[in-house]
Amino acid sequence: MAESIKKRRNLSAVDNSETIPMMGGSGFEDPASDLEVYAKEVLMALISDNLPPTPNNFSLYFDRILEDKSESFHKQVNAVLELEEDNDNEKSIALEKNLKQGFSSVKSVLQVSASLYQNITLMTKVLQKRKNELKDNTDPQMAGSVITSLEHDVDRLSLILKKQVEQMKTHYDDTASIVKNVENDTIFDNQYGVYNRRYLLDKIEQESSLIKEFKHKSTLIMIRLSKELESDKNVAKASMLMTRTVARMLLKTSRRSDIVAHYGNGVFAMLLKHTNLQSAKKASERLSELVSSSNFFLAEREVQLRISIGVKNINTQESVEHMITCTLAAMEEADANPLKDFSICEDTNKETDT
């Protein structure tokens, strides 16, 4: 069924008055088209002020020009932009609070430890004192008095030490809980220098929502070293080093918009935003060729690296878990066939790839 074609505005006559038509409901009727018109207005403002259209300048002008729009237009734009927000400020605040609580708990542990050390030192001195008193007194009655005093001192210090040990356990448990919360908020994998699994899953979920709204194409690929290399005992010893090499290559070849993450157990993922299945296939071929052509030397032996890649387009009709599972299965399929650089995961619910 033919659709009516929207008439584009003459952007050369655009000023800071309202340029986007107000629409009913909670969002845009055609977000991609309306944002395109507004983006052109922002771009024209940059050109008019002789500023390069870099991402930072565009973002600055995007927000500045938006201030002159109506409140209803603000709400419509913000409704769309919220889909792309990372909530970094909120996450940073929560992380900072946890870190401050952690420092406070660690400080408490150190204070109790210092007090414990002082009391143990005091007990050592008391024992030495009573020992000298017993040595200098041969009278049994006096010796009994010294022993009684010693028992009293030991009981009193033991009670204090018991309370301090309980305090230390409480502070330790608090610190361990805070550290766990901090770990839950992290987005970085220190082992390989890329994002972690938690961040990847959040980004796939977010990208799926964006695709529902803007109807673009994005793709997920999963990568790991070939299991054939792991079967070689001599090579397997250096598997960690080879895996890190692959991680560096992924970072080196990725675009700024791509998400490179460690999914786990040496399996990496790349979320290729605004990339259809055909482009993802080409990217997988180039990545496979790059890795296989890289020289990796183990002692005097040159090892040819090989990776296995699974490819899957982001399908908004499928869950993130299903997409991950399907892509991993495609990766295993590619790994089982030395002649294949990659394997494609077919959609459960077909979406046209244009």
pTM of structure: 0.68
Give the mean pLDDT of 89-116.
76
Are 226 and 289 members of one domain?
A: yes
Give the mean pLDDT of 201-220.
92
Q: How many structural domains does the chain have? A: 3
Q: Say if residue 276's pLDDT is above 60.
A: yes
Q: Given this model, what pLDDT does residue 248 score? A: 94
Q: State the Cα–Cα distance between residues 36 and 42, nearest whole angstrom.
A: 10
* Collapsed DSSP state (helix, strand, coil) of residue 266: coil
Q: State the Cα–Cα distance between residues 271 and 282, nearest whole angstrom.
A: 15
Residue 299 lies in a domain: yes
Residue 154 lies in a domain: yes
**111-164 per-position pLDDT tens digit:** 888 888 888 888 888 888 877 877 766 677 777 777 777 788 888 888 888 888
Residue 28 lies in a domain: yes
Q: Given this model, what pLDDT does residue 278 score? A: 95
Residue 351 lies in a domain: no
% of the chain exceeding 90 in pLDDT: 37
* Collapsed DSSP state (helix, strand, coil) of residue 71: helix
Q: How far is CA 228 from the centre of its chain?
A: 30
Are 268 and 149 members of one domain?
A: no
Residue 126 lies in a domain: yes
Are 278 and 315 members of one domain?
A: yes
Q: How far apart are the first and last CA of the chain?
A: 19
Residue 9 lies in a domain: no
| Stronger pLDDT, 276 or 338, i.e. the higher one | 276
Are 229 and 158 members of one domain?
A: no
Residues contacting 201, CB < 8 A, separation 6+: 320, 324
Q: Given this model, what pLDDT does residue 12 score? A: 36
Domain range for 94 is 88-185
Adjacent-strand bridge partners of 195: 188, 261
Residue 152 lies in a domain: yes
* Collapsed DSSP state (helix, strand, coil) of residue 167: helix
Are 75 and 92 members of one domain?
A: no
At 183, which amino acid appears?
A: E
* Collapsed DSSP state (helix, strand, coil) of residue 224: strand
* Collapsed DSSP state (helix, strand, coil) of residue 77: helix
Residue 44 lies in a domain: yes
